[in-house]
């Protein structure tokens, strides 16, 4: 049996009881490294906290391992219980459908343990989840590559009055261009896009395209470390949020569409004008 277990967003205690029971009975425990390195502070002792909680050693599976050596993870699941741990929900922002399809093809039973993901936890700001349009991903611009295909999707959402969740780029274990040209993989240091960078890029694209999808006065909500004890949620215009220091990653951004009065009331709780404590208190709604 392959258990794909969502760990939620904050820390080791965001696993569900069912998830914990499943991982505790597994013979092999893998954890996807793509976002977990950060979310659970694995680089700063978080891994041993998890291992203690589970009573098991954890093998960190980076993207390369999941994509290129999936069978090493999957084949033992034919004869024993294997856990694959995922930050958020197994089918949230970072999806693991490929692993499921591969497992099923090999005849392996798969059980999914759901959890919160950024896709539903953004609901905490008060904007109704059913009023979101298509989600967009904003990649880091480079000197020569400044993609803007998400601009049209934001515009379509806004034309319909819908909110837009923008997932911001994460670069973890990316081979450097230099190393690729030498045929040997060296890795760039990890980079996580800030809300500030995302807004700068968005405004640059608006300036180039000029189709008035949004502007500096467009209402947004910035989320940093969503679901963690030190999460930060600030509502304001793009201009206002540009000046906010959201601190350490992960960040994401919502571009606000047409709002209902109850949505406005909730957003007011996160507005910049209020006492700054309101914006920072522990997981407060």
Contacting positions for a second copy (CB under 8 A): 4, 6, 8-18, 20-21, 89-93, 95, 97-98, 100-101, 104, 109-117, 119-121, 123-124, 126, 128-137, 156, 160, 162, 165, 167, 227, 262-263, 265-266, 269, 281-285
Tokens of residue 123, six digits:
């609901």
- The Cα 182–Cα 252 span in angstroms is 35
* Residue 265: CB minimum distance to a second copy, A: 5
Q: Given the complex with a second copy, which of 69 and 104 has the nearer CB atom?
A: 104
* Residue 247: CB minimum distance to a second copy, A: 20
* Residue 176: CB minimum distance to a second copy, A: 28
- The Cα 174–Cα 185 span in angstroms is 9
- The Cα 92–Cα 98 span in angstroms is 13
Three-state DSSP class for residue 30: strand
Q: Given the complex with a second copy, which of 21 and 178 has the nearer CB atom?
A: 21
* Residue 28: CB minimum distance to a second copy, A: 18
Q: Given the complex with a second copy, which of 126 and 249 has the nearer CB atom?
A: 126
Alpha helices in 107-163 (DSSP H): 118-121, 149-159
Q: Given the complex with a second copy, which of 61 and 226 has the nearer CB atom?
A: 226
Three-state DSSP class for residue 22: helix
Q: What is the CA radius of gyration of the chain?
A: 20
DSSP code of residue 179: H
Q: Given the complex with a second copy, which of 56 and 131 has the nearer CB atom?
A: 131
* Residue 258: CB minimum distance to a second copy, A: 11
* Residue 150: CB minimum distance to a second copy, A: 11
Q: Given the complex with a second copy, which of 162 and 170 has the nearer CB atom?
A: 162
Three-state DSSP class for residue 253: strand
Q: Given the complex with a second copy, which of 149 and 186 has the nearer CB atom?
A: 149
* Residue 151: CB minimum distance to a second copy, A: 14
- The Cα 97–Cα 145 span in angstroms is 28
**Residue 250, preceding bond cis, omega within 30 degrees?**
yes
Residues 6+ apart with CB under 8 A from 103: 2, 74, 77, 110
* Residue 74: CB minimum distance to a second copy, A: 13
DSSP code of residue 9: S
- The Cα 118–Cα 167 span in angstroms is 9
Q: Given the complex with a second copy, which of 84 and 140 has the nearer CB atom?
A: 84
Tokens of residue 237, six digits:
């215009």
Residues 6+ apart with CB under 8 A from 264: none
């Amino acid at each position: 049996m392959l258990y794909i277990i969502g760990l939620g967003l904050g820390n080791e205690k965001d696993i569900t009881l069912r998830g914990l029971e499943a991982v505790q009975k597994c013979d092999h425990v893998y954890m996807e490294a793509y976002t977990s390195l950060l979310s659970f502070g694995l680089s700063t002792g978080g891994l041993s906290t998890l291992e203690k909680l589970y009573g098991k050693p954890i093998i960190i599976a980076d993207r390369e391992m999941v994509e290129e050596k999936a069978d090493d993870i999957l084949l033992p699941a034919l004869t024993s219980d294997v856990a694959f741990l995922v930050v958020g929900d197994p089918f949230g922002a970072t999806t693991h459908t490929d692993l499921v399809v591969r497992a099923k093809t090999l005849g392996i039973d798969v059980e999914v343990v759901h959890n919160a993901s950024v896709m539903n936890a953004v609901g905490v700001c008060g904007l109704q989840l059913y009023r979101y349009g298509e989600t967009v991903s904003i990649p880091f611009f480079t000197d020569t590559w400044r993609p803007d295909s998400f601009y049209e999707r934001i515009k379509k959402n806004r034309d319909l009055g819908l909110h837009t969740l923008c997932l911001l780029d994460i670069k973890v274990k990316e081979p450097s261009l230099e190393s690729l040209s030498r045929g040997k993989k060296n890795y760039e240091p990890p980079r996580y896009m800030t809300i500030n960078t995302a807004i700068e890029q968005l405004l640059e694209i608006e300036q180039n395209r000029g189709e008035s999808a949004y502007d500096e006065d467009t209402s947004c909500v910035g989320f940093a470390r969503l679901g963690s004890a030190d999460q930060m949620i600030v509502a304001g215009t793009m201009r206002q949020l540009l000046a906010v220091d959201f601190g350490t990653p992960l960040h994401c951004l919502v571009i606000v569409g047409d709002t209902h009065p109850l949505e406005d009331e909730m957003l007011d709780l996160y507005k910049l004008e209020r006492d700054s404590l309101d914006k920072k208190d522990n997981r407060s709604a």
